[in-house]
A = this chain, B = another copy of it.
Amino acid sequence: MMFNLILSDVPELKLQEQIYQRIRSAILSGSLKPGTRLPSSRALADQIGVARNTVILAYDLLQSEGYVSTRRGAGCFVVPLNPEPASSVPKQAAGGAAIMPQRSRRRVPSIPFAAPMQVPVNAAHDIDFAYAGSDRGGFPLSARRRLTMEKLSRGATHFQRHGNPAGDPDLRSSIVDHLASARGIQTSVNSVVITAGSREGLSLLARVLLYPGATVIVEDPCHRTAAFLLESAGARLIPVPVDTAGLMVDRIPQHEAAFIHTMPSHQFPTGATLSRGRRAALLRRAAEIGAYVVENDYDCDFRYDEPPLAAVASLDRDDRVIHLGSFSRALGDGLRLGFMVLPEELIEPVSAAKSFTTGEQTWLDQAVVAEFIRTGAYARHLRRLRQIYRERRDTLVQALASAFGSAAVIAGAGGGMHVICQLAESLGSAKDVTEAASAKGVGIYGLTAASARMVVPPPGAAQTLLLGYANLEPNEIAEGIARLGSVARPR
């Protein structure tokens, strides 16, 4: 089989990443058709002169993302990317009635396959500022192996029976201790429910608290997935604007609501941190309108210039705040572990909803993470990641400043894993810049492309880019922004 693969000589881009990206690009563009057999890892390694293991790692990644599939002994094949679209003509059943009558389809999600989770990444980009995932390092693999073996050697009974739907008591206890020191939240094991991530936390709340026509206050802009999830439960969303101090609490209408959904640590997409004054005001306003506060704290662990503000949940004297956390940012999206800290009256219904929808999270991962936290290794890991991400953040901010000077206004750089960059109008729109950068192999995204949902676009939205940096090495960041600077010039 003819199989051309020319590797870039940018040394910073790991060889396996290049192989992965080139093959993925060929699949996406259709030049590698479904059913095509890839060369064996050994053959490809010989052909392009890399270690066989490098090819294996690239193939693993392609497989984990569903681009290729291994058949027993027969090799590695390209799989069809998407199912064929369903026929738009309803099929006729034997008795003549339409199958899938329109009303039974009413709740079929109208979103494309997996769309809410994925930033549109163009495989041709060798440097991609997509906002997604955590550092390539993630959960330290040697620690994971050791802890997994330890737990596996004693955990036989845990595989046999259902655990507590609220989660492994050890993990919940570790989280209680971590939240006390890291976020100032005083809680107890009973109040913590382990989930598959903050997304499942929100999904469980939708099940328990929402009904068709229920009102939810959301930030504007906010993350598209969260908004979609709430709407699919029948909720009516009331968008409230966000400024540089976070959610504009005094703009929350005097309207009864099931809850207020907010991201106070590092708002998505604006990167704003909710100010101390507004945190207290938020609790007062929530009490006035009889709403819970859902504090989605998914990337709270990364603050670079000053200690993080205490969580809204830590200020709560009224058992009103539902705190959603996730290990995805620090330990990898693939881990599928997060948690909720719940007001007392919601513990039982949320646990029951977890129990009859998915059941408890699998025990082994919980036990491993519990021990990782308990021994202090997690806190050390977070410190290490903070250093790595701070360096990347610094590189990005400096590169933007030297490329654009005062023509670029940066926001949201104090924490999280992305910054917002508003370009002067003279540089063209975000869309223009994005397209020009893409032609140079650099993935850069405007707010909408980066999964933001905007009801009333904030000032300058059309000039605003969202730049994720956690997945890029400093030299990749510098190179990417240099290329961006070369295409985005005053007109």
Contact = CB atoms under 8 A, between A and B. Distances in A.
A209 B93 contact: no
Contacts of A98: 290
A199 B141 CA distance: 32
Q: How many copies does the complex hold?
A: 2
A60 B159 contact: no
Contact of A199 (B134, B228, B358): B358
A394 interface: no
A336 B362 contact: yes
A331 interface: yes
B345 A200 contact: no
A12 interface: no
A168 interface: yes
A469 interface: no
Interface stretch (A76-84, A398-406, A453-461): A76-84
A9 interface: no
A196 B359 contact: yes
A204 to B, nearest CB: 9
A191 B86 CA distance: 13
Contact of A61 (B134, B157, B170, B209): B157
A344 B358 CA distance: 23
Nearest to A84: B344
A7 B281 CA distance: 59
Contacts of A196: 358-359
A435 to B, nearest CB: 26
A290 B93 contact: yes
Interface in A52-83: 56-57, 60-61, 63-66, 68-72, 79-80, 82-83
Nearest to A214: B104
A138 B160 contact: yes
Contact of A101 (B107, B159, B290, B349): B290
Given A66-B166, A70-B170, 6 more contacts: A57-B157, A100-B290, A103-B214, A104-B290, A117-B355, A132-B161
25 contacts: A56-B154, A63-B169, A65-B163, A66-B163, A69-B173, A83-B190, A87-B345, A95-B287, A95-B289, A97-B256, A97-B288, A101-B290, A104-B291, A109-B207, A111-B356, A116-B352, A118-B162, A138-B160, A141-B152, A160-B334, A195-B358, A203-B356, A207-B232, A212-B212, A336-B359
